[in-house]
Structure 1
Amino acid sequence: MLERTRHKNTTQVTFVVAADHPCGEVSVVGDFNDWQPGTHPLRARKDGTRAITVAMPTEQRVRFRYLAHGDYWFDEDSADGHDGTNCYVHT
């Protein structure tokens, strides 16, 4: 799930996954962090999900994917679209 908060010059995008699926550590990687795994790890929230919020410039199309333990890559079902390889979100 994606949550967005728009501000004047930035959009805060919160990337959210279930607490138990997939198992182990999960990070979001994409254009905004030069595709570096582990830069934006998702953390447990009180509602039982895991999430990370990333501030990005507004009016951008940002590509991303999730990376879980064991080199397991997966997509976001609620992304704005998919380019054939990666998900994307409009900020």
Structure 2
Amino acid sequence: MIKRSRLFGNKTRVTFSLPKDNPVGPVSVVGCFNGWEPGRHELQPRRDGTRTVTLNLDPGEYTFRYLATGGVWLDDEQADRIDGHGGRIVLGHAQ
């Protein structure tokens, strides 16, 4: 799941969320915003049964995927679109 909240100025707070145990093990969101670096933005467990990570992003179009244990790649069905490179989100004036 992807939740977006406009911040003061032109930034958007984007929260990436998955169920606590699906998939099992650590999961990172990786994409063009972090150089596709695994572990840099790992989803953390929350009391509501989910795990999330939140990023503050400038306007633009971003490609991302989730990377789970064992090199398993996942796309988010709530992305603005999904193609062969992963999910894409469009923020701010780039919409």
Q: Show CA shifts across 1:56-90 (max 9, x none).
A: 102x1100000000000010011110132210011
TM-score (norm 2): 0.91
- How far 1:17 sits from its partner (Å)? 0.3
Contact between 2:63 and 2:85, CA under 8 Å: does it hold in 1? no
Identity across aligned pairs (percent)? Answer: 46
Which residue of structure 2 aligns with residue 24 of structure 1? 25
RMSD, matched Cα: 0.8
Alignment coverage as a number of residue pairs:
90
Unaligned runs of 5+ in 2: none
Q: Secondary structure at the match of 2:70?
A: coil
Q: Which runs of 5+ in 1 are unaligned?
A: none
Deviations 1:18-75 (A, max 9, x none): 00100000000001001000000000111100000011102x1100000000000010
Name segments (4+ residues, structure 1) moved above 3 Å. none
TM-score (norm. length: structure 1): 0.95
Q: Say yes or no: does 1:43 pair with 2:40.
A: no
